[in-house]
Structure 1
């Protein structure tokens, strides 16, 4: 996961806060730091299993800080929109690049988040944990009254949106984590995370040929498994969109634009895998998915921030994105995208993907 921002970052630069050399360790495989702030926001504010303080779900109390560029953050934006939590949880959006210190709010007027009043997400982390030593990651939930970070535990954030924030769901909100399917969803999610979501990073940040080859083989074994699984069924688990689909989608959305070339995941393009490509287009054309995907920010993030992989900082002009809008034909497999629910309404004003940043023809 990316951590930290842009205001002092220059493409290919070697400034004090440059990210050059921050991602690849020579001779080693990439290992993700998965030690996150494990606090949870729950319906009753109960304490955590490991003594974490309790935080109660309250409308207007928390701000979700989620950069459009980041796949882990993009998940939370999709789930928030599908469930209709926009009125209950506000959204702060850092710019697409960051330096070694923090994500920054360089897209906002004056370079400050308009609700939290901070220039760097780091400030919210330090408010809670002075000198916080780990990555300043997105997504992060911030307690607005105190300005302190609550959690950056991205897998739990979306599950809690589905199960602990039900009082604030919109009418017709889908059940993204249905109880009868949770064991299967958890099993699928585990494989998708280790082999695909994180697998592309293991390829891209490999520090040796051997580490890269091992990561590459694991990634494509899983991609072939997904291709087979999705040939005969419309969604990953059951006949409706679930948390599992959200988690896979954000990697697929970045595959041809970034991972195929930048991360050397280049056996095939997503667009060359019939079932996976049709599945990805099906989701992209579903409200909540494509309308939260900003390809320009995605490419800027990876190609500018990863200075050790792309030292020139040049952002590719391609690929052609119009294919995302082509008919997918997945309706023939049946399925009900929102189950007994309904699609979300229009994107909230001020949260739209900037014109020209999506997949317009």
Structure 2
């Protein structure tokens, strides 16, 4: 398997995505109509950007109207692949590589083949891979298909502040760990390192007296931060050299992360084996041997966090989602806190 290269003198993420949207009306030039069963969400559990979409889809209860294809944790320089499925072919799209859906719509597509991506089932064409907008649209445009008790993940009254918080979380934390890990010069690495931990210190302070980023309930902002925190000690601290502190050594963020992990929709979508396999096996210009570490011990995610003392209601006036569908459950061997029902069971 030929691997790509990731290290750059000063890493800059390519943020040119397919900006089509799936909307309630589908009326715009680059808008597609919301329709149950028409689309398939393609993800990889290893990827933090895809993990966002998995969590939001589950919290909103969209499993029956938006099916999900799951790629394996590793990929070559060409494409994510469906190597977890029988015959290494997605059972709905009938393709072995996600790239096939991109090329079906754009025969000369030359950018990265990224997850998450939404594919139209009937045509096999990719619709969008614009992951920040994708999850906001799942909240807003797909509301007619939300489960009863689905939380409001993007409350209108909080959007201005939320957008500012999410932008800082994205640039300084979500993407900040990659700027550390993919930095090809000492100066670029040290600048990224300083920015990352300055942001984590800001989050420690912000979350000291509020249970969630926007206050008393979970929002999209928490989803976006969680997927980086879930990977921090397992990958970013060592593999990406983000090693001033482990997450487990930042008391407020560590308690906050466990609070979310122990909430349905978060820990039960976290696959530690896939996460470690992806980063350590794919990034061979950082980890040439491809050896995957055995640790850290994931069972610590089930320890008490004490965040209930801050009050709040994770789902507001809503309710937690039920167990994930049997075919979408994380392998309990990959997450020691998962039971046969696919939910987190505390130690």
TM class, shorter-length = over 0.9
Equivalences for residues 146-165 of structure 1 within 5 A: 146-165=123-142
The answer to whether structure 1 residue 102 and structure 2 residue 79 are counterparts is yes
The answer to whether structure 1 residue 141 and structure 2 residue 118 are counterparts is yes
Aligned equivalents of 2:208, 2:247: Cα separation in 1: 14
Deviation at 1:325, TM superposition (A): 0.1
The answer to whether structure 1 residue 41 and structure 2 residue 35 are counterparts is no
Partner secondary structure for residue 232 of structure 1: coil
Deviation at 1:238, TM superposition (A): 2.5
Aligned equivalents of 1:217, 1:92: Cα separation in 2: 37
Unpaired stretches in structure 1, ≥5 consecutive residues = 1-8, 10-16
Aligned equivalents of 2:178, 2:27: Cα separation in 1: 35
Structure 2 match to 1:5: none
The answer to whether structure 1 residue 32 and structure 2 residue 17 are counterparts is no
Structure 2 match to 1:265: 242
Q: What TM-score, normalized to structure 2?
A: 0.96
Aligned equivalents of 1:322, 1:136: Cα separation in 2: 33
Structure 1 match to 2:307: 330
**Partners of 2:61 and 2:146 within 8 A in 1:** yes
Residue by residue over 1:10-67, the C-alpha shift from the partner in whole angstroms, topping out at 9 and shown as x without a partner, is: xxxxxxx322xx1012xx21000000000000011021xxx42x20000000000010
Structure 1 match to 2:6: 23
What is the alpha-carbon root mean square deviation over aligned residues? 0.7
Structure 2 match to 1:193: 170
**Partners of 2:166 and 2:221 within 8 A in 1:** yes
Residue by residue over 1:306-356, the C-alpha shift from the partner in whole angstroms, topping out at 9 and shown as x without a partner, is: 010000000000001111000111010011100100000011111000021
The answer to whether structure 1 residue 230 and structure 2 residue 207 are counterparts is yes
**Partners of 1:325 and 1:359 within 8 A in 2:** no
Aligned equivalents of 1:184, 1:320: Cα separation in 2: 36
Q: Which of 28, 38, 58 is the aligned partner of 1:81?
A: 58
Aligned equivalents of 2:180, 2:3: Cα separation in 1: 22
Deviation at 1:159, TM superposition (A): 0.1
**Partners of 1:181 and 1:238 within 8 A in 2:** no
**Partners of 2:18 and 2:127 within 8 A in 1:** yes
Unpaired stretches in structure 2, ≥5 consecutive residues = 338-346
The answer to whether structure 1 residue 289 and structure 2 residue 266 are counterparts is yes
The answer to whether structure 1 residue 64 and structure 2 residue 64 are counterparts is no
Matched residue pairs, number?
Answer: 338
**Partners of 1:324 and 1:359 within 8 A in 2:** no
Partner secondary structure for residue 64 of structure 1: strand
Q: Which of 177, 181, 188 is the aligned partner of 2:154?
A: 177
Aligned equivalents of 2:155, 2:232: Cα separation in 1: 28
Aligned equivalents of 1:209, 1:238: Cα separation in 2: 38
Structure 1 match to 2:179: 202
Deviation at 1:359, TM superposition (A): 3.7
Partner secondary structure for residue 71 of structure 2: coil
**Partners of 2:116 and 2:131 within 8 A in 1:** yes
Regions of 4+ moved over 2 Å: none
Structure 2 match to 1:247: 224
